[in-house]
Amino acid sequence: MSFENLNLIEPILRALKTEGYTTPTPIQQQSIPIILDRKDLLGCAQTGTGKTAAFAIPMLQILHGEHTKGNRTGHISALILTPTRELAIQIDESFEAYGKHTGLKHLVIFGGVPQNPQTTGLRNKPDVLIATPGRLLDLMNQGFVHLQHLKIFVLDEADRMLDMGFIHDVKKVIAKLPVKRQSLFFSATMPPEIVILAKTILHEPVKVEVTPESTTADTIQQYIYMVNKADKRKLLIHLLKTEPIKTVLVFTRTKHGADRVAKDLVKAGIKAEAIHGDKSQNARQRALTNFKNQTTRVLVATDIAARGIDIDDLSHVINFELPNVPESYVHRIGRTGRAKASGIAFSFCDETELDYLKDIQKLIGKQIPLVTEHPFPLTDEAIAEHKAATAKPAKGQGNKPAPSRRFGNKRR
């Protein structure tokens, strides 16, 4: 299927072609027709599935159609509520890319920065407003934002709103919206409180569910390093000093771990910053901007903080710690090798993480190649345990041995 099969208008198809997009993702294939039919939608999908385009494209088409009929109100017609500044900016960039030929105006507002430029932008009467809950409520209470003419409301990453303590602010915003509207609700998971919230927002919604990916892209080269836990930092610094890695996203399981790794890298003379939920919005956005423009070489992130980070031409991902949820591995390494580009994913596995590795390889249906020669190897006994755990080939994989990749000094 191509985007042409989704009955999209020429201005949007032209923009998609410019961006190099020809084939919609599963959530886009399912969601775009539903939204164009003006139905409410409940979308269960993670970041990275293409859900921003799944709602942005049909919203732009609906609003463009209203304007061509002479129904432009001069008021905010669509609101996208999203939990973080980073996601708000990326959604705004998507509306810019897909809507460049529609004549529609969009504005992004978020906290942590002076509000004057944002209130100036609101005076320009945007059609689409992308906002974080706190700043939106502030500007609504000050009389800068009026939503009584709203036609479409999107709640993005609802479960993350819950995690970050924003649900009460979200409910306050919803209370100010017109009852007659189209509502689109997206969440990667559906805990009980989110289910209840969805029922209060949506009217006879159509449910679209995209299951988490269980396979990794063929364009991503994957390697496992068996390493003692105490030697992981030395190995990371070694790879950064010996491998041609321009920029790399490094994953840890905890916020404290992310801070510690970034601090150790800076001590070693490597430009690095950490990004996680305890950082201020200013600090997170600064770290992301520095990483995108390659001022910072290494961005150390937790899984939650990395949701929504979309970086073009990212060549490497390193799992400093293996995730305890195997689907997170697929999501992490999927940050590289995008749009059919090649990518490399290095994963460090210590003696406590062998079960995690076993679960990951079971999920993706293949054995990840083991790097047997590097300066900080795990004991031969632990490596033998790894090989025994993964000796049984996955279905359809045969008995072909995994290649080794040689780096640095010979194994001691």
Please state, as a whole number, how many other Cβ atoms lie within 10 Å of the Cβ of residue 162: 18
DSSP code, position 13: H
Which tokens sit at 257?
């771990």
Poorest-pLDDT segment among 45-49, 199-203, 275-279, 356-360: 45-49
Distance (Å, whole) CA 328 – CA 244: 26
Quick check: 306 and 249 in contact, CB under 8 A? yes
Distance (Å, whole) CA 185 – CA 199: 10
Distance (Å, whole) CA 186 – CA 35: 13
pLDDT for residue 57 is more than 90: yes
Tell me the per-residue pLDDT of 386-411, one tens digit each, with 9 for 90 and over. Answer: 566 655 544 444 433 343 443 333 33
Please report the pLDDT score of residue 283 as a whole number: 83
Please state, as a whole number, how many other Cβ atoms lie within 10 Å of the Cβ of residue 92: 22
Owner of token pair 């030395």: 234
CA angle 219, 345, 354 (to 5 degrees): 125
What are the residue ranges of CATH 3.40.50.300 in the chain? Answer: 3-209, 220-389
Quick check: 332 and 300 in contact, CB under 8 A? no
Helix 380-389 and helix 354-364: axis angle, to 10°? 30
Query: Which of 86-90, 143-147, 291-295, 394-398 holds the top average pLDDT?
Result: 143-147
Distance (Å, whole) CA 365 – CA 367: 7
Element (H, E) at 111: none
Quick check: 337 and 219 in contact, CB under 8 A? yes
Tell me the per-residue pLDDT of 260-297, one tens digit each, with 9 for 90 and over. Answer: 999 999 999 999 999 886 777 678 888 888 998 899 99
Give me the residues paired with residue 316 across strands.
248, 344
Architecture of the domain made up of 3-209: 3-Layer(aba) Sandwich (3.40)
Please report the pLDDT score of residue 409 as a whole number: 35
Which tokens sit at 167?
């649900």
> Is domain 220-389 given the CATH code 3.40.50.300 in the classification?
yes
